[in-house]
Structure 1
Amino acid sequence: MCILRPQFKKMRMKLVMKHFILAVFAAVISLSAAAQKPITVKGVVKTEDGKTLSGASVVLTYAGKKDSIKTASSDKGAFTFNNVAAAKVQVAVTFIGYKKFVSEYDYSNATGEQIIWDIALNPGDFTLETVTVQAAKVQIKEDTVSYAIDSTMYRKNDNVEEVLKRLPGIEVDKTGKVTAQGKEVTRVKVNGKDFFGGDVTTATRELNADMVDRIQVIDDYGDQSAFTGVRDGEASKTLNIQLKKDKNKGYFGNVTAGAGTEERYLGGLSLNIFNNSQQISIIGNINNTNANTFNFGNSGSPMAAMMGGMARSMGIGRGGAGVGSAFGNFGNSDGINVNKSLGINFRDEWGPKVSAYGSYSVSERNSLTINNTTQQNIFQNSSVTNIQNSNNDAVNTNHRFTFNIEYKIDSFNYIKFTPNISYRNSSADNFSDFLFLGNNNAKTNEGITSSISSSEAPNFSGTLLFNHRFKRRGRTLSLNLNAGSSQTNSVDDYENLSTIYLPGGGTRDSALYQNIVQDNENKNASVRASYIEPLNKKQSLEFNYAYS
């Protein structure tokens, strides 16, 4: 028979109590962990008549806290919030043209998946004009201003230009010119790479707003500065459009067509084929509404202006364009213009070290301008009537090819080669007649003017950039080679026949025939070298050499 002594009973009791307390504590911890397990909240955004809404902004906010989760409804109106804490929450839904929906839900004791069934938006006055960009959506870091874009900032089928108009510090005029912080944006990139040669208007008007995740305005000092970190010269404004991750893979685009009075029409195609790093964009357009898809810059030149002025001083082009039309009619919006344009943008990664991107754009404009003018000048004892009729038919064609290839040899060496080719061709056929009448409608002068002109302007240029980073931090060497060739060749055949009626009777005839030929060529080459030697963490010494 075993007899427990008092001290052993006491020890056994302590062990039992200890195990009991540990078991209770473990159970409490287990229940607490189960209670705090994240849940999933799902729902569908609908209108009051049961139609689903795609692209609605849905925000989940925890009660008494500033923390929130944001998403947008899918094509079928559905949305999902994962890893939601078990607590009281508020869900707010907004969509252009509908009243804001706000409701609270208590998920303090909820587990698993929770479905929201009562979201139904009613028509209201929540329009795009009432949307303002919150300060939290704007980030400023050194030389970059970044804007977060969400569905409350645009309507369905809006382009990027419409979003830019809503952003603080950015202005867009009727021609598509973008100004940021008071300075014109001269270049645009998509995901950090040039899009259609950096053509701002093409990117902002052809890319849909629902593709965009973020828009950045960058003070760009050039590729060399980006590598060395040394800012040299005056910065230009560059727009970088960051696409949503789900828009970097797939096929998407749109087709537009329209017709109006006076036989006006337009048609457009935009197609994007994206597969992560490989991206192809195709844009096509035809219209007679004076709308341009691509911006080829100022096609007129100082020589064109000089020749136009010279021609006018000699009476050439009275009532018409004359030789100036051979140079400066690109982008002319007078008369009836039939515009045709097609462009393709390409981007790909050729292995882990080589990336290539470029574009080709072509545009043709056929302009027909008919002018009929009658002007009467009345003096004290006489009057003069001037009647002029002119017909000008011009065809202008632009080609532009841009290409970039980047080779990251290793972490210390980088090469970028950028060739550019452009070609402009213009032809114009102008005919006009004029008649001057004096007192009693007596003829004083009449005649005709005709001009047939043509011009072409091929341009070639290339840039080669080499950057080397030494092992010592901040020590770099950069070489920049540039070369180019540009030509402007034009021919203008001009004829002016006039008859002057003499006061005493009789006439005097005059004739002027001119053939103007212009051939201009310009070649250039330059080299620049830069070496930076760091002196300490905040100071460095830069050596530059340039030759042209």
Structure 2
Amino acid sequence: MSRKKIVTMLGLMLVSVGLLAQNKVKLSLVDEQTGEPLGFATVSVMKNGQSKPSNYALTDENGKATIESVKKGSYSLRAELMGYVTYTTTVKMESEDLDLGEIKMKLDAEAIDAASVSATGNPVIIKKDTVEYTASAFKTTDNDVLEDLLKKLPGVEVAEDGSITANGQTISKITIDGKTFFLDDPQMASKNIPAKMVDKLKVIQKKSEQAEFTGIDDGQEETVIDLTVQQGMMRGLIGQVSGGAGADIPSQDGVKSDVRYTGNAFIGSFKDDTQISLILNGNNTNNRGGTNRSGNMMMGMMGGGGGMGRGQGGWGGGNGITTSYLAGLNAASTFFDDKMDLGGNYIDNYNRNDVEESSQKTTYLQDMNVITNSDGIGNTISGGHSFGFRLDHDFSKNTSILFQPQINIGTGSYIQSSTDATLNDDLNGNVTKVNDSYTDNTGNNKNLSASGFLLFRQRLGIPGRTLTLAANVSASNNNLNGLNTNGITSYVGGTSSLTEVRQSFENKEDSYSASGTLTYTEPLGN
């Protein structure tokens, strides 16, 4: 290849890199008068000639924000926060990051309302204790689910286990138009609801039911996500079915690859005051389709007498291949002129985890090497049924009751086998076996738990005078039985000896708890 061609190719490569370069815009927002940092403000850049922001970010509690992945070009930058005059400026991105330093925001005497802010095309709006996102401002595909949308929202994070946090606060539940969706399992929504059906998404700091009724903060808050359904999807059934299949890449020639598959179906009706949803999910790609409801049960199974524990390498911990099947039905509706909210759900799930491990460890000593070969397989199966119910009824404008029971039924089993061989290498070509060992553990588990929450609320004549009674009860029964077998064969002086231990165990655990709180509030002063 000629020198001229090489120079030309290098030039083209450098031009391509320059075109693809994406940089950051950094800034911090402060109050013009006090100098205090302004957190949770929306900062966006809009390319000249466009009607929607191309990139955006939220300021943190220190007022700082970084807008990622901004391509070269000229942009209109906006900083917006409720109660402040919108700040706008023109920025030009070159080949380096841009630091705008400290930007001072002026208070708006008339306090900009939410409608005027949203009219600018702002994808994020801050309203006191609520952060509202416009779903259409974040690019998703037709097959994406809510979890894919959440991962694109500034301030929202989805962990590897599927748990969701917003601005550092754990999301405890997801509601649809104010109605609870699968009660206390936000992952049933995040992993199954189609992203395309969401119009608005609100992250809300919600006080406890008792605090909302009495108006007195009891310090018990939760962070919830409320979804608003697209208007065009509220007139009939919403459906989405997706699936795929493929094969693992073989680890070596001649080894047959396993087939991987995934399938998901969502059918929902969101008409008037009634919501009904059906979820079906099946795969062998380590996606449970909802919260791991068998986690605590399986921890109990891996306990007494050794369980799944493996002295050298360790087992479990999410390794291997998990096959999951899940079916869920959720319903919620309003009756008696909005005086009664009634909802419930049922979940049936099955999970199977298969683990294969193989390792070789060499310990180098001064006069010899110690070699340890280990192999093992593990199989864990769990399944169960979950029933949840919620009743919130206003008998009158002064008297209401909230009742929320839940029942969980679970079963499971495990099998774990491992072998280890230890050899000594004297560094002269002589390798001798020191010992062989094996472990075989099996177990079965049954679990039943039930809980209930009751809240009675009564207003007494004058505003602020209230009486509330809250009660919590729970009971659980857990039965575990299994057999652990361990053996070791030692080789000394040309002879071998076997030592074997067999241990059967049975654990039964029952627990009960009950608590109640009676609260009276009286307004002070006139």
Q: TM-score, normalised by structure 2?
A: 0.69
2:518 is aligned with 1:529: yes
Give the 3 Å change call, closer, same or farther, for CA 474–302 of structure 1 in structure 2: farther
- The structure 2 residue matched to 1:403, chosen from 367, 380, 389, is 389
Q: Once the 2 structures are TM-superposed, how far is the Cα of residue 162 of structure 1 from its aligned partner?
A: 3.5
Matched, 1:236 2:232: no
Structure with greater proportional helix content: 1
Offset at residue 500 of structure 1 (A): 1.1
Quote the residue 2:434 is aligned against: 444
| 3-state SS of 1:525 partner | strand
Q: What is the CA RMSD across the aligned residues, in angstroms? A: 3.0
Q: Is the 8 A contact 1:334 1:369 kept in 2?
A: yes
Match among 452, 463, 475 for residue 465 of structure 2: 475
> Could you tell me how far apart the structure 2 residues matched to 1:424 and 1:182 are?
32
| Paired position in structure 1 for 2:497 | 508
User: Is the CA contact (8 Å cut-off) linking 1:433 and 1:447 kept in structure 2?
Assistant: yes
Contact kept, 8 Å, 1:388 with 1:432, in 2: the verdict is yes
What is the distance in 1 between the residues matched to 2:309 and 2:138? 57
What is the alpha-carbon distance in structure 2 between the residues aligned to residue 139 and residue 229 of structure 1?
26
Aligned counterpart, 1:462: 452
Cα 1:174–1:446 shift into 2, 3 Å? closer
Q: Note if contact 1:341-1:361 (Cα within 8 Å) is conserved in structure 2.
A: yes
Partner of 2:278: 282
- Cα separation, 2, equivalents of 1:210 and 1:316: 44
Task: State the distance in 2 between where 1:298 and 1:232 align.
Answer: 32
Letter in 1 for 2:448: P
Q: Give 1:155 shift.
A: 4.2
Alignment partner of 2:351: what SS? strand
2:268 to 272, 276, 283: 272
**TM-score, with length taken from structure 1:** 0.67
Please give the alpha-carbon distance, in whole angstroms, between the structure 2 residues aligned to 1:225 and 1:188.
20
Query: For residues 388 and 165 of structure 1, do their structure 2 counterparts lie closer, same or farther at Cα, with a shift above 3 Å needed?
Result: closer
Moved over 6 A (4+): 91-96
| 1:160 and 2:150 aligned | no
Q: Which residue of 2 aligns with 1:492?
A: 482
* Aligned equivalent of 1:376, options 340, 358, 362: 362
* Deviation readout 1:351-379 (Å, 9 max, x if unpaired): 33322111111221112212222222221
Quick one: structure 1 residues 389 and 319, their matched pair in 2 at CA, closer, same or farther if it must change by over 3 Å?
Answer: farther
Structure 2 stretches lacking a partner, 5+ long: 1-48, 55-117, 249-258
Q: Equivalent residue of 1:280, what SS?
A: strand
C-alpha displacement at 1:220, in angstroms?
A: 1.9
**CA offsets 1:377-408 (integer angstroms, 9 cap, x no match):** 22111222212221212211132221101211
Q: Aligned partners of 1:287, 1:254: CA distance in 2, in Å?
A: 16
Which deviates more, 211-220 or 166-175? 166-175
Change (3 A) 1:152 1:372: closer
Structure 2 match to 1:49: none
Checking the alignment, whether the CA contact within 8 Å between 2:294 and 2:382 is kept in structure 1 is no
Of all paired residues, the percent bearing the same amino acid is: 28
Gaps of 5+ in 1: 1-90, 97-132, 538-548
Offset of 1:523 from its aligned partner? 0.2
Find the aligned partners of 1:395 and 1:162 in 2 and give their Cα distance. 28
Matched position secondary structure for 1:442: strand
CA distance in structure 1 between the partners assigned to 2:460 and 2:160 by the alignment: 49
1:519 aligns with 2:508: yes
- CA 1:153 to 1:500, structure 2 compared with 1: closer, same or farther past 3 Å? closer
Superimposed CA distance per residue, residues 479-526 of structure 1 (whole angstroms, 9 cap, x where no aligned partner) = 111111023321120112221112x34233211010122111110011
Change (3 A) 1:180 1:337: closer
Change in Cα spacing, 1:371 to 1:511, as seen in structure 2 (3 Å) is: same
Amino acid at match of 2:218: D
2:327 pairs, out of 324, 328, 342, with 342
- In structure 2, distance between residues paired with 1:267 and 1:210: 18
Q: Which residue matches 2:113?
A: none
Distance 2:284 2:297 in 1: 26
Give the partner amino acid of 2:260. Answer: R
| 1:10 counterpart residue number | none
Q: CA–CA distance in 1 between the matches of 2:209 and 2:166?
A: 21
Q: What secondary structure is seen at the aligned counterpart in 2 of 1:210?
A: helix
The residue aligned with 2:208 is 222
Contact (CA 8 Å) 1:477, 1:530: kept in 2 or not? yes
* 3-state SS of 2:191 partner: helix
- Does the CA contact (< 8 Å) of 2:147 and 2:158 recur in 1? yes
Larger radius of gyration: 1
Q: Any idea what SS the aligned residue of 1:338 has?
A: strand
State the distance in 2 between where 1:341 and 1:378 align.
49
**Where do residues 161-180 of structure 1 align in structure 2 (5 Å cutoff)?**
161-180=147-166
Q: How far apart, in 2, do the equivalents of 1:514 and 1:494 lie?
A: 5
409 and 145 in structure 1: CA distance in 2 versus 1, 3 angstrom threshold: same
* Structure-to-structure mapping, 1:284-363, within 5 angstroms: 284-296=280-292, 299-300=295-296, 304=300, 307=303, 311=306, 317-318=310-311, 333-352=318-337, 353-363=339-349
Distance 1:364 1:306, change over 3 A: closer
Counterpart residue type for residue 534 of structure 1: P
Contact 1:320 1:432 in 2 (8 A): no
The structure-2 alpha-carbon separation of the partners of 1:361 and 1:447, relative to structure 1 and needing over 3 Å to count, comes to same
User: Aligned partners of 1:299 and 1:334: how far apart in 2?
Assistant: 14
Note closer, same or farther for the CA distance 1:167–1:536 as it changes in structure 2 (3 Å cut): farther
Write out per-residue CA displacement over residues 322-354 of structure 1, whole angstroms, 9 at most, x where no aligned residue. Answer: xxx8xxx6xx53222221111111112343332
Alignment-mate amino acid for residue 326 of structure 2: S
* Cα 1:380–1:358 shift into 2, 3 Å: same
Q: Which amino acid aligns with 1:273?
A: S
Counterparts in 2 of 1:370 and 1:426: CA distance versus 1, 3 Å:
same
Instruction: Give the counterpart of 1:366 among 352, 356, 359.
Output: 352
Partner of residue 208 from structure 1, selected from 174, 179, 194: 194
Q: How far does the alpha carbon of each residue in 1:67-105 deviate from its partner, in whole angstroms, 9 at most, with x for none?
A: xxxxxxxxxxxxxxxxxxxxxxxx988899xxxxxxxxx
